[in-house]
Every structure is written in C-alpha cells, then in structure tokens.
Amino acid sequence: MVIGKNRETKLVVNLQAITDNIQHERAILTDDVEMFAVVKANGYGHGILEIAQTALAAGATGLCVAILDEALSLRKAGITAPILVLGITSPAFATLAADAGISLTVGSVDWLQDYADQTTAKQPLSVHLAIDTGMGRIGFRHSEDVKQAETLLASDLFSFDGVFTHFATADQTDTKYFEQQFKTWQQLTGALVQLPKYVHISNSATSLWHLPVTGNMIRFGVTMYGLNPSGVAIEELPYQLEPAAELETQLVFVKQIPAGASVSYGATYTAKTDEWIGTVPIGYADGYPRCMQGFHVLIDGQQCEIVGRVCMDQMMIRLPKQYQTGTKVTLIGHQGNQTIGATDVAEYAGTINYEIMTSVAERVQRVYR
C-alpha cells in the first residue's frame, strides 16, 4: 500500500465529531443498551484503527467488522474489546477467530457442524447467530434450524454469545416491511430456549427512527461518521449529525484557455469564452467518481464547476479568475458559507453516501485532528 504523503490531497478526519455522534446517540438510548461501533471497510473510509480507538474511548463497548482480517488487525493493534465479524467466515479460518477471542457470525447448521469436525481451537468459539427476517442475505430462516443450532451451540466448542438480524428498510418512510421483519424476528427468536448475552437488531437507521427497537445492543455504523443513512429520504433526525471527514486538495496547475478549446478525455467540455482552468491532483483512482463532470468543488468559498471527464489521478475545474497554485480545493466539506456533503456527491453520482466514503482510496492520506 502506497499512501500519498507527498501531495496535498487528503481526507481530514475530525475525531471529535465521531465522539460527539456517539454521545448524541447514547443520550437517546436507555442505559441497558450497549453500542458496538461498526468500523468495517477501513472505518467507512475514515481509518479503522483510529476510529475504533476513538469510538471505544467515547463509550462504545465493542466493535463490528465485515471480515476476519479486519478483526485480526485490531487485535494485533492491541484492542481487547469484543469484536464481531458480521460476514460469514469459512470454518477453515474460524480457529483463528476462536484463538483471538473474536466473535463470528453463523447462518446455518451446516457451518456449525463443519467447524466442529475440523477445529483445533484451544478455546470456545464465540458465535452470534444471524437471523434472516427479510434481508435475504445471510442467516437462519426457519425455527427448526434455529432450535438445532442452539442444541449444537451447547457443545464446549462454542460460546453462544449473540443473535441478530438486519433490517432492509429501516431508512425508508414506509414502515410496513420493517414491521413485517420485526414480527419474523420475534417468531424465529421465540424458538430459542434462552437468549444469549447480546440481542441486537438495530443498525444506524433503526437507532435513529425506530427506537425502542434495539434489543440490548445496537450496531452503530454510518451515523457515527455523521452521515444520514437514508440519504435525503428522511431529513428529520433526533439530533444534529456531525460529518467527520472532509476531502480536500490544492490547485497544482492553472492556465487560461481560449474559447473553443476542449478539456479532458473525449473532449466532452469546450470553453465558450476564454476561461481559467485549474487542475487538482485527485481522480477516480482516489475514489472520486469519474461521472462528476458538471458537479462542483469549493474554491475561495465559491462553487466551481468540474469540467471535462474526471481522470484517473487528476481533474480540471473552471475558475472564476486566476488563482495561485496551492489554493485550497474542497471536494467534501466546508468553505465559507458553502458546504458539499458526501450525500451531495452521492446524489449527483447516483449512489449513496456509504459508497462515496468507503471508496476513498487508501493512497489518500488520512489526517486526524
């Protein structure tokens, strides 16, 4: 991995915003509800270790990741808090999790049997059962399978520590499907003789708009980073979100082009008059979408249009006047009274703010404040 430390393109992460978002959420939860901070995908692009450490210091009691390697990296860094891997891990690698005290998600009886047949772990494997109530991704779908899994988990090879589901439409205004999933959850978990330590059904959207539907733990994801999980579908929030990251760079080249001159691949932009054009060192290889021609960045507190196609490592901006190289350019964040949010970029690109932030490449330097 190469990090661009010798260029001015950087993702500036405000760790205090992470802390504030966690504390705002804690204020609307009851005291008996724990919070696991979701730091998968390099902390939603913000940096997995730095966000994990900040979240735990701010009151999170555990962490969630997507793959076992993320969890192992946190253990290697000295984090001892509970860690749950939300995706399915092959039984062939599960002994690594058991020996590192990492919890794994299990969604089938066959998985438990396969692990029991091959494990060489020196301690019990912590397991959270995934219940598929309508997400259609992973998890148990039938009561009889849930009962059989509970029986297998009584073995000394396992520690049955959690059960959870994931809502597919918690970030939408129509609650019918959400309510249907909740009924299925009650039915399937009703097959358990005894509930485990952690019972969690609340993701960020559920924790914002569907309290008290929490179980006794929530998985706090995109909201921790100050982003609305619904995008623009639901604007009413129980507290003010604080976006934690700003994506910024600088002008590295400035020139004036004559009317009729074209810019970038495909000559898709042609100047109508003499124009000042600035080049900035960021492109789609850095995670800024190629399709952003016609959108804008902020320079000197003003919106400045992206002209021509975004290149792999650079892109061009139409300037209102000549600026010096080294002038700050904000792609996500604030300048003066202007703001560009990750959701604004996502709406233009036809995607969601999750994808925008997790797409910021590792070569983009993270700077923490």
Q: Beta 103-106 vs 125-130: how paired, if at all?
A: parallel
Cα–Cα dist 254/308, whole Å? 15
Both structure tokens of 180:
């249907």
Please, what sign has the CA dihedral across residues 160, 38, 164, 211?
Answer: positive
Q: Residue 312 annotated as binding?
A: yes
Segment holding 93, helix H or strand E: none
Strand partners, 280: 315
137 is in an annotated binding site: yes
The secondary structure of 129-198 as a DSSP string is: EEB-SS--SSSB-SHHHHHHHHHHTTSTTEEEEEEE---SSTTSS--HHHHHHHHHHHHHHTT-SS--SE
Active site residue 328: no
40 catalytic residue (yes or no) = yes
- Set 40, 198, 225, 284: catalytic member: 40
Q: Name the 3-class secondary structure at 87.
A: strand
Q: Which residues are annotated as a binding site?
A: 137, 312
- The binding site for substrate consists of 137, 312
The set of catalytic residues is 40, 265
